[in-house]
Chains A and B, each alone.
Chain A
Amino acid sequence: MHHDNGIWVGSEDLMRDEAFAKSSQSEFSVENIDQTDGKWQASRRDFLKLMGFGLGAATIAASCEIPVKKAIPYVTKPDEIVPGVANYFASTFVNGSDYCPILVKTREGRPIKIEGNTLSTVTNGGTSARAQASVLSLYDTRRIQNAGTVKEGSVTKMDWAGLDREVKAKLATGGNIRIVTNSIFSPSGESAMREFVAQYPTASIISYDAVSSAALLEANEKCFGFNLFPKYKFDEAAVICSFGADFLGTWGNPVQQARDYTKGRKVAGAKTPKMSRHYQVEGYMSLTGSNADSRIQIRPSEMGAAISALYAELSGNGGGPKLNDKAASAIKKVAKDLQSARGKSIVVSGSNNVAEQIIVNKINDLLGNINSTIDFNGASFTHSGDERQVAKLIDEMNGGQVATILVWGANPAWELPNAEAFKAAFAKVGTRISLNTNLDETTLLCTHAAPTNHFLESWGDALPVAGKFSIIQPTIAPLFATRQAEHSLLVWCDSPNLNSSSEQPYYEYVKANWQKDYFPNQTKYLTPDAFWEMSLHDGVHEVPPHDITVSFDQAVSVDLNGVSQPSTSELEISFFETVNIGGGQYAHNPWLQEMPDPVTRTVWGNYLSIPVEWDGVNNIDGWMGLNDGDEVDVEVNGQKFKCSVVKNFGQTVGTVAIALGGGRQAGGCGVSHGVNVNAAMKQENGLTQYYGVDVKVTPTGTKDKHFACVQHHNSMGVTAMGKEEGKVINADEKSLGWKGFQGSLTDRSIIFQTNIKDLQKLEHKLEEFHEESTHLNSQTLYPDNIEYFGTGMKWGMYIDLNSCIGCGACQVACVSENNVPVVGKKEVARHHEMTWLRIDRYFYGDLENPKVVYQPMMCQHCDNAPCENVCPVNATNHSMEGLNQMAYNRCIGTRYCANNCPYKVRRFNWLDYTTADVWPSNEERVFHVEGENLPFYADNLVRMVLNPDVTVRTRGVIEKCSFCVQRIQEGKLTAKKESRAIQDNDVRTACQTACPTGAIVFGNTNNPESEVSKASKNAGALAYKVLEEINVRPGVNYSAKIHNANEELFS
């Protein structure tokens, strides 16, 4: 099936679906506009009524007195706070195994934005969507606000002293004590736990992770003697083969790995274009798989067979389970590639089967990768959980052997396959103390709540990687009467090292630990105080790790029978973790809920991803004839759940997939969004298996009324089969009727892609294209503005599509920086999402096994902007610095601009999402967290997250990316105050600083020495502008997507 440019968005545009073409031609979606429950019908009389009311209201409003405002200074102004100037504090984002050194931006003492800490050599300033969104969870209205006893779904307040007395009395009665946590890699936290265990010798620690790596850790223990996550040097690997490991999104330490991975794949601007080759063997399309050069599709139960097949090929020892022929022949070619890159390749596996992980280790050993690309020097301590301990705990609890249980950060009553068994056993424990922040599923079953602080209110430290320490420091006093968990543990064990009379006891505890343990091991600072102060300032403290060389223990035998056995069942299912919701830990964060999943592009919940079926000629249908949003009943492992489906290219035929983390039952805004699938997973040898066989899917015949997938929203034009013409035509062109005219978009230049071996061909093609565009664009009567824009600064951006992995950190950073509202699922379903920056996902290549390119798309700040010409009130216009400006208070909401924008990046405030205006009646339809009376943004607690330098938009106005103009203005002012030229690091946009891979570069394009100028120049012909030929003169350069697929793989 031919397609222009070889790229597509989904099956609708591939099939030239007529209804879709029609809907794409109209600017605003009308498909859900009738979902008004009959409330929005207006008659002529209503119109007159509203007119009269409006007139009256305006008159009254005009004659109202202006309210008296107060200006309240400090009594004693702290020296470090200057009202109106942001302070940055180095800290560390830690949640379960997630780790990110950060800088916290605070304004007048409020944390409002997370930036990456560039001093860390672990992340080099990169962040993740989860880290970016973590600031919002500080202002979660559902946090537990005081200590107390838990009864009937609520916390009855107790003072901390009272709680301490009660807890200590219970602990003193003897009996076994268990502390349930996720992976912990905080030296001081562990020290606190050690003290606790020393005081109560019957205590022990149970640690597990919501999404497990237990098998990998055990295999590494057996093979190399370390139960650690090694450092995978993706930057040095020439060939990467991943068996279902989502190492760019969720597996291991994704921020670090993504950075390393893209280092090996930057082609544009490189002197000798060279890139790694990445194979991904998987059943569903993961974020990592979507970035792979070649995907080998298997059913999830074939994972063991696939790993065995590669092992057989490399070692000559066959005998594993049988793999399907197509994949088996592909694996042989992968083996050849890997062998040709001995010592410079990486094989990883996301499986939770010890035998498989041992084989993977053996493969790496055979390839000579151990100590080379797989290095235990930089091994990380971020993963240490083992769900088998929980199973043991359940037995103990059932046997009445546990007297007291403490739950800290974990949620075992929900996030495990055996959560029901856990719950039943949990009830048999006498004293159950929760140290969690929210009233989640486990806390509800507890007897006592001792809520811990949010990490932005806490002291602490982390040791994610050997030799790389970092500090967590509070950026605000605890908002509620909470106390951090480590502090509570130390109080309960009467620690002699905790100075309870001090103002911040745990601060002194951490500081003492650092000065005692780490100060002697460094030579940079001479006094313990200087060491602590500077470490606190930097946020990180790094010392060279010990040199560790490991060798594969040859006594460990490869057990080909221990691997997963391929199933003969008709349908299989994969369960996967998403970059935004994780295993469900992040389900209560609205920013992450509203961030589209990079691959399926769905929001607010989890959906069953189904394969598409191509009849080989002209038709692409959803599996079983299902369409997006159709509801189905799913039965797997004896568990039933109902969900809606989303068609997904790249999903292996005969398999479906669903994300974890949906259907939370308590604790916040994630409740009732999506469906809980944890119980549907099986455990083998105590290890959770993230797939299931013998799956039954029955369509219910109903449709999800609010199916929210942004895949086809804001599509940039579409082609369709013309009825009269009998061939493919351009729908825009048809509607315009100006065939051949450059304004009617015949061959859309949105994505350019090629295999690296054809790089020169693409360069020639692009050179011709640039020439043609320049020619077309010069055919104008209007004078150009070279002199005008050449004076002073001109802002521009460069986005390397080869570095963009689609992780979404930029999108959340943009939401956080620019006060972009959360609109909720229903509004997204109506195409009303407000995100200024979207990440378009395009498929290309083989229809049944396509590749993906992600394209961050935001306002292109066109110098000849079509939106500006059509605004009747001149609310959007151009600045001499090349910014497409938007003056909200001038906008009257005609939406002509959005209609005329070829990139579809303008967003309209259909409702009063931020509750900025004064009419309460407008608040009814905007996003509410379920069970809350106030709209999300009306709560003063939530509003603390707003950036005071960016206007909160009201209903009825257009908004869009401003190139972070508030940062531009701030950067310029800094330079002016210092009487110097403006530099690159004065102005960095929120998306740029958030990006873990450095895909986005921003700066002054008038300065040939700026990063952005150099990047665009180095990319040469590969740098292009989207829709370059239509003479809108955008300010954003993209570089073509280059892949390194093995084209003989399936031949």
Chain B
Amino acid sequence: MLLKRICWVFILVIVASASLHAGPSKEAGKELFMANCAACHNKNMKDNLTGPALAGVEERWSAFPRKDLYAWVRNSQALIATGHPRANELWAKWKPTLMNNFPGLTDDQIESLILYIKEPGSGPVKDGPKVEEKKEASLPWVFIGLGGILLLLAFALMRIVDNLANVSRAKDGLPPIERSMYQVLTTKGAIAFLVFATVLIFGYKAVDNATRMGREQNYKPDQPINFSHKIHAGVNKIDCQYCHDTARRSKQSGIPGANTCMNCHSAVKKGTISGTSEITKIFASIGFDPITSKYMEGYDNWSDKQIEDLYKKWIGQEYMASNSLTSLDENGKDIVENQWEGIVKALKDDSNGKIQGPIEWTRVHNLPDHAYFNHAQHVTVGQVACQKCHGKVEEMDVVFQYSTLGMGWCINCHRETEVKFKDNDYYKQYERYHNELKSGKRDKVTVADIGGLECQKCHY
């Protein structure tokens, strides 16, 4: 839930930045810090992490106009390019680590951040808007229950009819007829009903399965790196769009390059659970020497043996350090060997004969080629939370396909989802709808109302 809230806050920050003017406050600063800065800057403000410790930032920039600091926060590289002395001093110290750009932050918001950085002590944090969890009634069970009750009723009625018939027969002095269950079930009506029901059910099932052909809901492939979204997005609360940064501006959400991983992992060299076994794969991909904390020159031309020596040394060293050994024991040797094999397996396959180079992830969400989906449309314009389609990724150790990604699923959402009609000037052109909303003739405008069900919105 917290992550969702942060997502919402993040989105709100982007959207509301222009419209909300509440003046700087420490509370707002905390929210902003948690949403935007905490991934790289230490929360205690005193120690360096991926980015420098922030305490005293005001003093360090005091020699320059305040707007320089604003410019720095919004786009540090642009400020560096202008030759700003303070900016270049920082860059000389920290390069090649890039600071993310936050062009959407207003001056007030940055002031809020500075307030919070000054006194990071606790302060009341406003609750972000809660994402309503809709509990969907499981319809099939309702129907099965109803069916059962109806069936019982039918039997009861049959008994009553039979009994009444027997009563009237008794009046006429005739012996009562006792029908066995078998006799009841073999009547023409019952057989006809059974045949009808069977055809109906099998037909339905056949069509249902046919439309599901090629769908991969719950697809949960193994990945070359045992990357846990739960740890990153859940425990560490890294914003989704920190890594999948193209989701807001492109068709694709983007798989982060190894350099994005290195933003944090040049400092976080060992996993809390996996130790050296997984993170070393990133190092081996990009060519980072964790022992000296340097990127290696000419890594692309290294032989497998060179790479093996380096990372085995690293794994062994860390094993010894954590077990307070001075030399590798048998277990340690096994671990080094296994982890190295894991690295080779993850990074080298038939299509890619080298350890160096990109990490080949297995794609989880596969849309067919004839369906066009654009993340930016949904994330930036529609402001749909990632979790709406991808599920609670922050609770998944291994990501799986949460939704069907079927066309019916898309269409349903387009029918139900309201367009952000008032916030976006683009929609001003739909004058008729605006008039209807004003006059009360219409209470909402859904995606379907502006053509969201048309073929060529997704197929072209």
Contacts and interface: CB of A to CB of B under 8 A. Distances in A.
Interface of A: 62, 66, 68-77, 82-85, 787, 790-793, 877, 879-881, 883, 885-890, 949-952, 962, 965-966, 969, 972-973, 975-977, 979-982, 1006-1007
B457 A76 contact: no
Nearest to A954: B370
B460 A792 contact: no
B370 A881 contact: no
Contacts of A74: 257-259, 358
B456 A887 contact: yes
B455 A73 contact: no
B257 to A, nearest CB: 4
B117 to A, nearest CB: 27
Contacts of A889: 370, 459
15 contacts: A66-B366, A70-B360, A72-B255, A73-B257, A77-B259, A83-B246, A83-B251, A84-B375, A85-B249, A887-B455, A887-B456, A888-B370, A952-B369, A969-B374, A972-B426
B369 A792 contact: no
A-B residue pairs, 4 tightest by C-beta: A84-B251, A77-B257, A84-B250, A74-B257
A66 B454 contact: no
Interface string B206-236: 0000000110100001000000000000000
B362 interface: yes
B103 interface: no
A978 to B, nearest CB: 8
Nearest to A878: B454
Given A888-B370, A977-B376, A71 B456 contact: no
B357 A75 contact: yes
B433 to A, nearest CB: 7
A134 B377 CA distance: 33
Contacts, number: 155
Contacts of B433: 791
Nearest to B77: A79
Contacts of B216: 66
Contacts of B241: none
Nearest to A108: B252
A83 B252 contact: yes
A75 B358 contact: yes
Given A66-B366, A84-B250, A965 B430 contact: no
Contact of B361 (A70, A881, A962): A70
B190 interface: no
Given A68-B221, A962-B456, A980-B426, A75 B258 contact: yes
Contacts of B251: 83-85
Given A75-B259, A75-B357, A973 B376 contact: yes
B246 A887 contact: no
Contacts of A952: 369
**What's the dominant secondary structure at chain B's contact region?**
loop
Contacts of B426: 972, 975-976, 979-982
Given A72-B360, A887-B459, A962-B460, A973 B374 contact: yes
A877 B213 CA distance: 26
Contacts of B423: 979
A965 B460 contact: yes
Given A76-B286, A881-B451, A950-B460, A71 B432 contact: no
A254 B358 CA distance: 47
A65 to B, nearest CB: 10
A787 B441 CA distance: 15
A787 B459 contact: no
Contacts of A76: 257-259, 286
B428 interface: yes
B313 interface: no
Interface string B415-437: 00000000111101111110000
B385 interface: no
A975 B380 CA distance: 12
Nearest to B250: A84
Contacts of B344: none
A692 to B, nearest CB: 51
A982 B429 contact: yes
B252 A84 contact: yes
A981 B432 contact: no
A951 B370 contact: yes
Contacts of B456: 879, 883, 885-887, 962, 965
B450 interface: yes
A889 B458 CA distance: 12
Contact of A73 (B258, B377, B450): B258
B372 interface: yes
B213 A792 contact: no
Count class of interface residues, chain B: 35 or more
Given A975-B426, A981-B425, A73 B459 contact: no
Contact of B286 (A75, A793, A885, A981): A75
A811 B456 CA distance: 22
Given A85-B251, A976-B424, A69 B362 contact: yes
B249 to A, nearest CB: 6
Nearest to A975: B426
Interface in B349-381: 356-363, 366, 369-370, 372, 374-377, 380-381
A75 B362 contact: no
Contact of B429 (A62, A787, A793): A793
Contacts of A879: 451, 454-457
A77 B258 CA distance: 8
B285 to A, nearest CB: 6
Nearest to B456: A885
Nearest to A980: B425
B96 to A, nearest CB: 9
B250 A83 contact: yes
Given A888-B459, A979-B425, 6 more contacts: A72-B255, A84-B250, A793-B429, A949-B372, A977-B249, A1006-B429
Contacts of A888: 370, 459
Interface string B258-278: 111000000000000000000
Nearest to B98: A79
Contact of A973 (B285, B381, B454): B381
B439 to A, nearest CB: 15
B203 interface: no
Interface in B88-135: none
A970 to B, nearest CB: 9
A976 B454 CA distance: 18
Contact of A66 (B214, B260, B451): B214
A83 to B, nearest CB: 5
Nearest to B366: A69
B256 interface: yes
B254 interface: yes
Given A73-B254, A73-B255, A981-B428, A68 B362 contact: yes
Nearest to B18: A979
Contacts of B430: 791-792
A71 B459 contact: no
A380 B246 CA distance: 45
Among A70, A790, A889, the one with the most B-chain Cβ atoms within 10 Å of its Cβ is: A70
Contacts of B455: 877, 879, 885-887, 890
B361 A71 contact: yes
Nearest to B96: A76
Nearest to A793: B429
B93 to A, nearest CB: 21
Contacts of A887: 455-456, 459
A763 to B, nearest CB: 33
B359 A73 contact: yes
A877 B370 CA distance: 17
B213 to A, nearest CB: 6
Nearest to B459: A887
B30 to A, nearest CB: 28
A950 B380 CA distance: 23
A951 B460 contact: yes
A69 B360 CA distance: 10
Nearest to A61: B213
Contacts of B372: 949, 966, 969
